[in-house]
């Protein structure tokens, strides 16, 4: 084995010496050596061409191979574009394939031959485009893995478009995906059907579109996700009709209920009926009259914040066929794309089959549209760096919600990361059944004296032994998770809020 490694190193150095020798020869001949590129080489019977960014032709190129890839040195000065539909490409010196160039002479290096005998090839952005991606008699653009693109297509089939996994838009539960349909109308695929707009060309001065559904309700909030544009309809209570044109969000009358004597925070959404931490559950919260909801934030392996309570997905996810998972699967061991391969709905019933995990940005956009105040619990399993918290804060800021969120966590570090960036943030210190030290209460009291809006968030079973220390240090107290009417009726008036699965404290207390 050692001898083989030495031989590989020797070959590598020989190649490098040969390459440098070639460079020296070209330099001695007065030729210009422009740069090094790692692109495909194109050959015909007389010439070898190399295409480099911005993908124009360079003549009489040379190349040398090194471990880690193929490198090219170009010597042409004019870099004249060329159009040629019948050149031959070889990356390994042995396999030759037909390649394509566009009308500007740019080389299209990525391509795929389909089972129908037709060639699919890439545009500037690298997607494969085909005239024979046939689904139900219609043609669609395909990605380089052969999947239907969600926001790039050739034609619609009966007014529908297709998601990246090939599922028809509108048939997948809780898929809030904004798509273009026939006749130029736009559709929001959601649990409640489609929102149609006939004024999709109107823009506000800040670049937002104003869209209206078939009942004349304004469809406003826009966010950008990996899947394209996502829109949420403004609730009926806003009383905005299709006749109201180009009204900015700042002029919308947002109906915010008066603060109750005891606030009720809906725990993970109204998951009595719908999957926890899903938009289905939060929509149920809204329907049940909650204006505050709690969610749990974890990060995927590729840094996408999603809503999930546990550090593993096993409790709430199933395989795509509905079967139970085997070994424990940590959320931070999966990329977001891998997480989309699991079903996060069927555990709550067949009607939620196919539900996908909820991204934090989609949840925040929903909260902004419906006037909901979210309690964002940062889970210490995956939210444990300043950089991750900075990303969360930036995401909150992007929806103009910095002053309308509450940050909670069992991790003092995560909460400190928030306070490092926002001296006015509302901060909730989650604790378990153990009683904190006097110095801890004093620290919270000092933070409040400095203007930081902090409170203690404790199990309701520990409330009685904590109230004295909270009052002494001027620290508000909220409790979790309260599901007993009897407990609410005997609630100490010092407690300002409860987190609950299904109760309304103000209804029970008659406020």
pLDDT one-digit tens code per residue, 198-216: 333 333 333 444 444 444 3
CB 506, CB 492: distance < 8 Å: no
Taking residue 166's Cβ as centre, other Cβ atoms within 10 Å add up to: 12
Q: What is the pLDDT of residue 261?
A: 64
d(C-alpha 307, C-alpha 394), whole Å:
17
Task: Kindly state whether residue 108 falls inside one of the protein's structural domains.
Answer: no
Q: What is the pLDDT of residue 280?
A: 87
CB 418, CB 393: distance < 8 Å: yes
Task: Kindly state whether residue 184 falls inside one of the protein's structural domains.
Answer: yes
Task: Kindly state whether residue 90 falls inside one of the protein's structural domains.
Answer: no
User: How are strands ordered across the β-sheet holding 128-129?
Assistant: 111-113, 119-122, 128-129
Does 285 share its domain with 236?
Answer: no
Does 287 share its domain with 430?
Answer: yes
Residue 178 pLDDT > 80: no
Q: What is the pLDDT of residue 409?
A: 97
Task: Kindly state whether residue 140 falls inside one of the protein's structural domains.
Answer: no
CB 111, CB 99: distance < 8 Å: yes
Which parts of 310-406 fold into alpha helices (H)?
A: 336-339, 360-370, 386-398
Burial class (CB in 10 A: 0-12, 13-18, 19+), 398: middle
Q: What is the pLDDT of residue 338?
A: 95
Which of 210, 233, 254 is a domain's end point?
254
Q: What is the pLDDT of residue 466?
A: 96
- Residue 285 banded pLDDT, cuts 50, 70, 90: very high
Which position has the token pair 């926002």? 422
d(C-alpha 39, C-alpha 71), whole Å:
7
108 SS3 class = strand
d(C-alpha 285, C-alpha 501), whole Å:
10
Does 478 share its domain with 379?
Answer: yes
Does 431 share its domain with 393?
Answer: yes
Task: Kindly state whether residue 111 falls inside one of the protein's structural domains.
Answer: no
Residue 119 pLDDT > 50: no
Q: What is the pLDDT of residue 360?
A: 94
Checking phi first, is residue 340 left (phi over 0); if not, alpha (psi -120 to 50) or beta?
alpha
Rg (CA), the chain: 29
Write b or e for each residue in 53-73: b if 16 or more Cβ atoms lie within 10 A of its Cβ, otherwise e. Answer: eebbbbbebbbbeeeeebebb
Q: What is the pLDDT of residue 248?
A: 36
Tokens of 247: 């009204």
Q: Can you give the CATH number for the domain in which 457 is found?
A: 3.20.20.190
Residue 234 pLDDT > 70: no
The mean of the pLDDT values for the chain is: 65
Strands 56-58 and 48-52: antiparallel
Does 67 share its domain with 187?
Answer: no
Task: Summarize the confidence of residues 231-238 as an average pLDDT.
Answer: 41
Residue 106 pLDDT > 60: no
d(C-alpha 431, C-alpha 385), whole Å:
20
CB 107, CB 99: distance < 8 Å: yes
The tens digit of pLDDT for each residue in 42-88 reads: 333 333 343 333 333 333 333 333 333 333 222 333 433 333 333 34
The tens digit of pLDDT for each residue in 306-353 reads: 999 999 999 999 999 999 998 999 999 999 999 999 999 999 888 888
Does 381 share its domain with 246?
Answer: no
Which parts of 288-377 fold into alpha helices (H)?
A: 336-339, 360-370
Q: What is the pLDDT of residue 335?
A: 95
Q: Which is more confidently placed, 134 or 35?
A: 134
- Residue 277 banded pLDDT, cuts 50, 70, 90: very high
Task: Summarize the confidence of residues 266-278 as an average pLDDT.
Answer: 93
Does 293 share its domain with 425?
Answer: yes
CB 353, CB 345: distance < 8 Å: yes
Does 58 share its domain with 175?
Answer: no
Which of 36, 53, 81 is a domain's end point?
81
Most confident range (mean pLDDT) of 50-59, 120-129, 208-217, 463-472 is: 463-472
- Residue 399 banded pLDDT, cuts 50, 70, 90: confident
DSSP-derived letter for residue 200 is: T
Structurally, the chain folds into a number of domains equal to 3
Whats the size of the chain, residue-wise? 511
Domain range for residue 62? 2-81
HEC string of 215-274 equals CCCEEEEEEEECCEEEEEECCHHHCCCCCCCCCCHHHCCCCCCCCCCCEEEEECCCCCCC
Task: Kindly state whether residue 330 falls inside one of the protein's structural domains.
Answer: no
Burial class (CB in 10 A: 0-12, 13-18, 19+), 216: exposed
Strands 218-225 and 228-233: antiparallel
Residue 460 pLDDT > 80: yes
Which position has the token pair 């736009």? 186
Task: Kindly state whether residue 197 falls inside one of the protein's structural domains.
Answer: yes
Residue 236 pLDDT > 60: no
CB 56, CB 81: distance < 8 Å: yes
Indicate the range of 241-245, 375-379, 483-487 predicted with least confidence.
241-245
Task: Kindly state whether residue 105 falls inside one of the protein's structural domains.
Answer: no
Does 235 share its domain with 305?
Answer: no
Indicate the range of 193-202, 299-308, 353-362, 469-478 predicted with least confidence.
193-202
- Residue 262 banded pLDDT, cuts 50, 70, 90: confident
Q: What is the pLDDT of residue 511?
A: 62
Of 83, 77, 91, the C-alpha closest to 40 is 91
CA distance readout (Å), 105 to 98, 119, 211, 331, 451: 15, 18, 40, 45, 63
First-last CA distance in the chain: 80
Task: Summarize the confidence of residues 290-304 as an average pLDDT.
Answer: 96
Rounded to 5 degrees, what angle do the CA atoms 52, 53, 55 make? 65
Does 415 share its domain with 274?
Answer: yes
Does 406 share its domain with 479?
Answer: yes
Q: What is the pLDDT of residue 490?
A: 85
Residue 128 pLDDT > 50: no
Does 505 share its domain with 449?
Answer: yes
d(C-alpha 110, C-alpha 58), whole Å:
19
> Virtual CA dihedral for 350, 351, 354, 357, nearest 10 degrees?
-110
Distance of alpha carbon 384 from the chain centroid: 19
Which position has the token pair 């709550």? 348
> Virtual CA dihedral for 340, 342, 347, 351, nearest 10 degrees?
60
Strand partners, 178: 188
Which of 81, 99, 132 is a domain's end point?
81
Residue 24 pLDDT > 90: no
């Amino acid at each position: 084995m050692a001898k083989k490694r030495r031989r590989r190193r020797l070959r590598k150095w020989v190649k490098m010496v040969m390459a440098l020798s070639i460079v020296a020869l070209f330099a001695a001949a007065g030729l210009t050596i422009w740069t090094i590129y790692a692109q495909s080489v194109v050959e015909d019977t007389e010439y070898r061409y190399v295409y480099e960014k911005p993908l124009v032709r360079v003549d009489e190129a040379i190349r040398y191979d090194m471990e880690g890839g193929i490198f090219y040195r170009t010597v042409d000065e004019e870099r004249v574009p060329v159009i040629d539909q019948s050149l031959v490409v070889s990356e390994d010196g042995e396999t030759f394939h037909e390649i394509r160039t566009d009308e500007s002479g740019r080389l299209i290096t990525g391509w795929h031959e389909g089972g129908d005998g037709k060639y699919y090839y890439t545009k500037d952005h690298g997607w494969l485009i085909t005239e024979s991606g046939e689904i139900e008699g219609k043609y669609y653009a395909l990605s380089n893995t052969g999947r239907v693109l969600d926001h790039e297509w050739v034609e619609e089939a009966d007014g529908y478009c297709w998601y990246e996994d090939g599922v028809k838009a509108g048939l997948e539960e809780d898929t809030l995906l904004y798509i273009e349909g026939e006749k130029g109308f736009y559709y929001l695929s959601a649990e409640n059907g489609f929102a149609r707009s006939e004024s999709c060309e109107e823009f506000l001065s800040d670049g937002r579109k104003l869209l209206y559904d078939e009942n004349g309700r304004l469809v406003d909030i826009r966010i950008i996700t990996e899947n394209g544009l996502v829109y949420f309809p403004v609730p009926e209570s806003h009383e905005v009709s299709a006749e109201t044109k180009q009204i900015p969000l700042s002029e919308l009358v947002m109906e915010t209920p008066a603060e109750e004597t005891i606030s009720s925070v809906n725990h993970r959404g109204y998951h009595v009926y719908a999957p926890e931490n899903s938009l289905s559950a939060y929509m149920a919260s809204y329907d049940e009259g909650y204006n505050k909801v709690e969610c749990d934030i974890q990060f995927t392996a590729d840094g996408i914040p999603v809503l999930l309570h546990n550090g593993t997905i096993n409790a709430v996810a199933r395989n795509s066929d509905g079967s139970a998972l085997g070994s424990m699967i940590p959320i931070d061991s999966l990329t977001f794309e891998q997480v989309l391969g699991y079903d996060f709905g069927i555990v709550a019933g067949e009607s939620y089959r196919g539900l996908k995990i909820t991204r934090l940005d989609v949840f925040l956009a929903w909260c902004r549209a419906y006037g909901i105040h979210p309690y964002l619990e940062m889970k210490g399993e995956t939210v444990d760096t300043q950089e991750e918290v900075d990303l969360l804060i930036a995401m909150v800021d992007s929806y103009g919600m910095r002053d309308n969120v509450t940050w909670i966590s069992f991790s003092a570090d995560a909460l400190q990361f928030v306070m490092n960036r926002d001296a006015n943030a509302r901060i909730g210190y989650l604790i378990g059944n153990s009683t904190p030290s006097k110095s801890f209460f004093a620290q919270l009291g000092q933070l409040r004296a400095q203007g930081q809006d902090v409170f203690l968030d404790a199990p309701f079973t520990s409330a009685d032994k904590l109230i004295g220390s909270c009052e002494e240090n001027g620290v508000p107290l909220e409790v979790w998770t309260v599901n007993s009417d009897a407990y609410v009726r005997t609630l100490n008036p010092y407690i300002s809020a409860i987190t609950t699965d299904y109760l309304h404290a103000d209804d029970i207390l008659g406020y």
